[in-house]
Amino acid sequence: TDYETILTETRGRVGWITLNRPEALNALNSQIMADVVDAATRYDADEGIGAIVVTGSERAFAAGADIKEMEAKSGLDMLMGDHFGGWARFAAVRTPVIAAVSGYALGGGCELAMMCDIILAADTAKFGQPEINLAVIPGMGGTQRLVRAVGYYKAAELVLTGRLMDATEAERSGLVSRVVPAADLLAEAEKTAQAIASKSLPSVFAAKAALDAALESSLGEGLRFERQTFAGLFDTEDQKEGMAAFREKRAPSFINR
């Protein structure tokens, strides 16, 4: 499929999405949302894909929602047009998504990274929610996911002042899974994605769903969900294969069943 604002490529069992609006530092307009959501949901429906990587350019993962597209809109336009609605479908993808962040991940860009399961950051990465400088607030999940990622006080400082943080601070705060030298970012993302994509897909979907439950439910509900989901995996052929391979001291061969 040809997209206007992203590049896509399948490498083995990994689906790549590269944000490609260099003239606007990958600002997230309606077209890029439609393209990313379409590509991600296609990968998600494809049993041949076991992990997805979303990345931008060296200079910017994404510098936010597209300010020029939003500027003239009314509150009613934003609401009735469901301006950011597509992103909920991106966040609902069952396949693990790795954000490989180099340069700016600001506003909607930071929020897009936080919809992913793993955030790998180049040492050049800069994260922030600068919406307050535009007299608005984060609108794609920033106030909610950032609090869960870094805690209330760090999130409140960032959202209220609009200050950016570098990769080191982001990692220390718990926003970033791992920081790597900029030159290694894509190779590290590839390695991480291939590692995930080599597992049995039902167990990977189950793990992501259970991790999501940790953010969305009480401890008791989350533990019940985990226990049921864990038990369900014992009815897969891959569970028998995985445990037999361990006993026989060989590599497992999974069939995603």
HSE-up of 19 (CA within 13 Å, CB side)?
Answer: 37
Among 15, 56, 86, 138, binds ligand HXC (CB under 6 A): 138
Alpha carbon 117 to chain centroid distance?
A: 5
Structure tokens at 254: 């999974």
Selecting among 15, 113, 131, 193, the annotated active-site residue is 131
User: Which one is catalytic: 111, 167, 189, 197?
Assistant: 111
**Residues in contact with ligand HXC, shown as a per-residue x/- string from 114 to 133 under the rule CB under 6 A:** ----------------xx--
Provide the phi-psi class of 12: left if phi over 0, else alpha when psi is between -120 and 50, else beta: left
Q: Toward ligand HXC, which CB reaches closer, 8 or 26?
A: 26
Residue 174, sorted as left (phi over 0), alpha (psi -120 to 50) or beta, turns out to be left
Q: Which of 6, 27, 118, 165 binds ligand HXC (CB under 6 A)?
A: 27
Out of 6, 25, 97, 175, name the contact with ligand HXC by CB under 6 A: 25
**197 HSE (CA, 13 A, CB side):** 25
For residues 143 to 182, the per-residue mask of contacts with ligand HXC, x marking binding by CB under 6 A and - elsewhere, is ----------------------------------------
The CA distances from residue 239 to 39, 224, 231, 253, in Å, are 30, 20, 11, 11
The catalytic residue positions are: 65, 108, 111, 131
**Interface ranges with ligand HXC (CB under 6 A):** 24-25, 27, 63-68, 104, 106-108, 130-131, 134, 136, 138-140
